Homo-oligomer: A and B are copies of this chain.
Amino acid sequence: MKKSPIDTVFAQGESNPYGKFFTGQTYLTMLSAADPVFNAPIGNVTFEPGARTHWHKHAGGQILLVLNGEGRYRERGKEIQILKKGDVVRIPADVEHWHGAAPDSWFVHVSVETNPSKGPATWLEAVTDEEYK
């Protein structure tokens, strides 16, 4: 494990157990586990430069809170967005998208999974280098 050179605010955590749905190296710390009481799974994800999720969608939506570094966000069919510390992304249910680090920057965001009772994320194909750049 490489230690992040930028402040992750929360613990960097271990190598992401969902790594097979990501390209490159990412780390996950669960801040509030999935449960039927709070209904709001919250995790902190740290991406090494160039790392990103596969294309995916959430049955109940997701909110990203950017803590540090520079990242990327793209919804299928739309322009890529640059993300910086302090940015918030509200991803509606069933919208295909990916997120990750910039090619030359570590990136840290909190993920809040909304309406988890509507079902899990659906993971799709990897983001190609061409799509990423």
Contact = CB atoms under 8 A, between A and B. Distances in A.
B65 A10 contact: yes
A38 B86 contact: no
A83 to B, nearest CB: 13
Contact of A32 (B37, B63, B115): B63
Q: Could you tell me the dominant secondary structure of chain A's interface residues? A: loop
Contacts of A65: 10, 31, 42, 110
A63 B63 CA distance: 15
A9 interface: yes
A42 B110 CA distance: 12
A90 interface: yes
B88 A31 contact: yes
Contact of A40 (B11, B85, B92, B112): B112
A86 B9 contact: yes
Identify the 3 closest CB pairs spanning chains A and B, nearest first: A38-B114, A31-B88, A40-B114
